Amino acid sequence: MKRLALALAALVALGSCAPESDRTEIYLQRFWGECGALYGKTIDVSKAEGECGIITALINKFNAENRDIHVESNVVAWPGYAQLSAQIAANDPPDLVTVHQGVLTDYATRGLVEPLEPMLREAGIDPAAFTEAARRGVTKNGAIYGLPWDTIGGLFHINTKLFAKAGLMRGGKPVLPNSPQELLAHARQFKQRTGLPYLIQSQVNDPATHVRNLYTFLLAQDAAFFPDTRHIRIDTPQAREIVGLLRQINVEQLGTRNQDTPAAINSFLNGQGGIYPTGTWMIGAFDQEANTPGRPLHKSYAVFPYPRLWGRPAAFVDGHSWAIPKGDRSPQQRRAIARLLKFFAEHNFDWARTGHIPAFSAVLDSAEFKALPHRADIAPLGTIGRTLPGAVERQGAIEGIVGEELQAAVTGQKPVDRALADAERRSNDLMSKLD
């Protein structure tokens, strides 16, 4: 189907403008939504906003500047892996595709995507230029399988107006806790002085929320909670202490309850709590509110990595990457893909305007990046961010199981000990059935 579409495109080109018949066609597949009506003709990337706008403008710009190549884009519903797997099974994969770094393991382990070092060399991209977090994210069993595009992870998004009312601002910055006990003390003080919850939490239909918390604070303690590629170990004293803290927050009603992600976002936007622990992808929307007079967040927004409650500063992160599914391609197509990868690498700063952490150290350390709103405060995510071990498969499915059990523990549907034991047993059962 893909090849038929490209053939038809080539026929149209022949009928409209003869030189275009010599163009090399490559087929790119991505998520991040469809916004052609707004950005379909935009080539000035600085005028594009948001994930969809920026990636659309970047592809438009590449096509405009490389007349001998045409990138045909297909936008899939997030995350698009069922469609990608079907395309691979039908021997009709895209030439370049967006893959989360945690999911990339599943495709790399089965030999469904190409090791990328040869293509990176052709593109003149040195993996040593990647940030630590980005390099770990695309390295599977010692080989690189994707061009890292960013690092994404959880952050503390903070309402500074309410923090000031609670007496938790010092020198114009929020005071964040340095231990579980201090977090509870701050949360109680916040609730007493503001009458509002310290934490806004998306606990309904969002398994990633508590998994992100658990993984982050286990990584901070250097816990080997994946002792090998077929087992998870979270029925441990360390995990019980972390989940016990999350449970206590619910017991004392120090956080919102019974909210899904849209409700939690709405609560934060309307000034109904102090901290919303969510991802890098929300910075743009929240900063826009902070710059809108009359809105509850006006001049009242800050964002930082998770505080160090145990061990050392750490963050569980993932990231987006560009991968090449295995398939038959002409030398011209391979050269075109290399040029596109080089273009993406050269425009990593443009993508960083989404709120995600850059994949390249030079961009992360640049004055240009740190001049963007809040970026100097969140830049440590590029160094303290840690992924799961690169050989662990079915990370998304494991997240779903563990998240379901953690939600039961935090909301009181199950004792913490039982929930962690069930999460470990169910996850290990899943991994035992992998080929």
Q: Taking 50 as the threshold, does the pLDDT of residue 105 lie above it?
A: yes
Measure the CA–CA gap between 388 and 354, rounded to whole angstroms: 24
Q: What is the pLDDT of residues 222-281, one digit of tens each?
A: 999 999 999 999 999 999 999 999 999 999 999 999 999 999 999 999 999 999 999 999
What would the pLDDT profile of 368-427 be if each residue is shown by its tens digit? Answer: 999 999 999 999 999 999 999 989 999 999 999 999 999 999 999 999 999 999 999 999
3-class SS of residue 238 = helix
Report if pTM > 0.85: yes
99: Cβ contacts below 8 Å, ≥ 6 apart: 81, 84, 107, 113, 146, 320, 321, 322, 323
Range 29-33 average pLDDT: 97
Instruction: Kindly tell me if the per-residue pLDDT of 299 is higher than 60.
Output: yes
Radius of gyration of the chain (CA): 23
Q: Which residue has the higher pLDDT, 162 or 12?
A: 162
Torsion of CA 380, 381, 384, 389, to 10 degrees: -160
Total count of residues recorded for the chain: 435
pLDDT, tens only, 331-369 = 999 999 999 999 999 999 999 999 999 999 999 999 999
Average pLDDT estimate for 85-95? 96
- What pLDDT is recorded for position 20? 60
**Backbone dihedral angles phi then psi of residue 409, each to the nearest 5 degrees:** -70, -45
Per-residue pLDDT at 22: 84
C-alpha distances (whole Å) from 406 to each of 137, 183, 203, 215 are 25, 20, 10, 12
Position 10 scores a pLDDT of 44
State which amino acid sits at residue 58. L
Residue 319 DSSP symbol: -
| For residue 79, cis peptide bond before it (omega within 30 degrees of 0) | yes
Q: Which helix (H) or strand (E) holds 243?
A: helix 237-251
Mean pLDDT of the chain: 94
Q: Residue 205's pLDDT band (boundaries 50, 70, 90)?
A: confident
Judged against a pLDDT cut of 70, whether residue 14 lies above it is answered with no
